[in-house]
Amino acid sequence: MLNGFLRLTNLSCSSKHICKNAIYRNLVTQAKALTIRNKIVNEAEKIVGYPTSFLSLRWLLNDEIANIISHIKRLIGTNHPLLASARGLLLGNEIPTWGLIVLLISKAGGLPKDVSEIDKDIMAGILHSQRVLAEVTEMIHTSNILHNSILNISQNNPQYSDLNFGNTLSLLSGDFLLSSSFKELAGLKNQEVNELVSACLRDLTEAAFIEPRDEQNRALPAKPLKMQTDIVIPNEFGTKPLKIKDVLGNAKAEWTLRHFLGTASLLAKCCQGALKLAGHSDNFQKLGYIFGKNMALAWKANEDLEAFQLNKDGIFDLVAAPVLFHLQHDPAFYDEILKGSQNIEDCDYKKMREMIHCGPALKLTQDLKQELVENSIEVLQQFSDSDARSALINIVKVW
């Protein structure tokens, strides 16, 4: 009996040792991948003329934004989402700026021969108007992150005053960036590009109203449909809204719709707009849209996967691809989701994480990411060979 106990103890210790080794290897792999990614981004930035971090520095160092940032320290200790958003914006995150992608697709598309020397950056081979659109893309993307940091707060909350102050900062700073972006956009004097970017804002707004949601307006997945059919979210190259009938409850279609409206629409339409500014044909502009859509969704799928790595714990996005795919695999899993119907923090994330790891959801998410990556590269192959195209392919492959 004692020998049996010792064998079980040794087995338990061995399992823990194997798990620690796996986590260590995973961390080392992530560190190497980050180094490669940084190198690729640095090389891509040289192609378009200067580091695209300057796209955000111009407004980040603006007096109004600098004043707002100085007040954020009051939120320390309140757990307000604006703290995490500000940290990510100031320190940078792991994906390239969206402005860089718009600049690269602009250069990959090339410029018409009859363009005036005054209208283009001769060294970078990009129109000044395309550079402005890249800044606008980055500002709208950032303003959306800040607006999503707003909380619904009860007046009975002991931290009501500080949390409400955080909401004020999120709202005003997001509004400032949004209004500044449209001031820049108006300067382009291109009505068709204005309409495309306006459609992006409509999509961002629609994404915030797709139900169900908890009391903080954070997204919850819809109840899975008994019959999962293959529904394709169509490309909308104009300004018409997407229809969502029969999409909710269908794992892949729901994930695609939510994250297209919430993020990918902006990159898709701004890539399309960048090619429009250079006077390319409608069909060529559509390639920019398809590339931006697939690339943004591929990034999102990768982000969803990273939340389920061995060294990760805590809460995760309940409309992430692995969650939706696991619901498709095991509809009873929805009972765990319903625990967060009032507040998503009420869910048992440790239990849910273990259940997802035991099912096919992570493999399905990896397959989805690979499909989106291949779609992006297939589109880029239709562009002329250039340093910008190669840089985009490298970025797609390493994320």
Taking only the tens place, the pLDDT of each residue in 296-351 is: 999 999 999 999 987 788 889 999 999 999 999 999 999 999 998 888 888 999 99
Query: Which pLDDT score is estimated for 31?
Result: 66
Confidence of residue 13 (pLDDT cuts 50, 70, 90): very low
Rounded to an integer, the average pLDDT of 32-53 is 77
Average pLDDT of the chain to the nearest whole number: 83
- CATH 1.10.600.10 boundaries in the chain: 211-399
Q: CATH top-level class for 211-399?
A: mainly alpha
Q: Is 216 helix (H, G, I), strand (E, B) or coil?
A: coil
pLDDT tens by residue, 179-218: 989 999 999 999 999 999 999 999 999 998 898 988 878 8
Residue 255 has pLDDT above 80, yes or no: yes
Cβ proximity of 267 and 290 under 8 Å: no
- Amino acid present at 139: M
Confidence of residue 15 (pLDDT cuts 50, 70, 90): very low
- Amino acid present at 335: D
Partners of 99 in the beta sheet? none
**DSSP state, residue 317:** -
- Of the candidates 52, 214, 78, the one whose C-alpha atom is nearest the C-alpha of residue 133 is 52
Cβ proximity of 293 and 266 under 8 Å: no
- The half-sphere exposure of 64 on its side-chain side, counting CA atoms within 13 A, is 11
Rounded to an integer, the average pLDDT of 262-286 is 96
Helices (H), the chain: 2-47, 53-60, 63-72, 81-91, 98-109, 128-147, 160-186, 191-207, 251-259, 265-277, 282-306, 321-329, 334-338, 349-358, 361-380, 387-398
**For helices 53-60 and 128-147, what crossing angle results, to 10°?**
70
Cβ proximity of 391 and 44 under 8 Å: yes
Query: Which pLDDT score is estimated for 5?
Result: 41
Distances (CA, A) of 283 to 137, 195, 225, 228, 289: 22, 18, 36, 33, 10
pTM of the model: 0.84
pLDDT tens by residue, 89-148: 555 555 678 889 999 999 999 987 777 767 777 667 899 999 999 989 988 998 898 888
Rounded to an integer, the average pLDDT of 273-299 is 96
Distance CA 104, CA 110 (A): 10
Query: Which pLDDT score is estimated for 358?
Result: 95
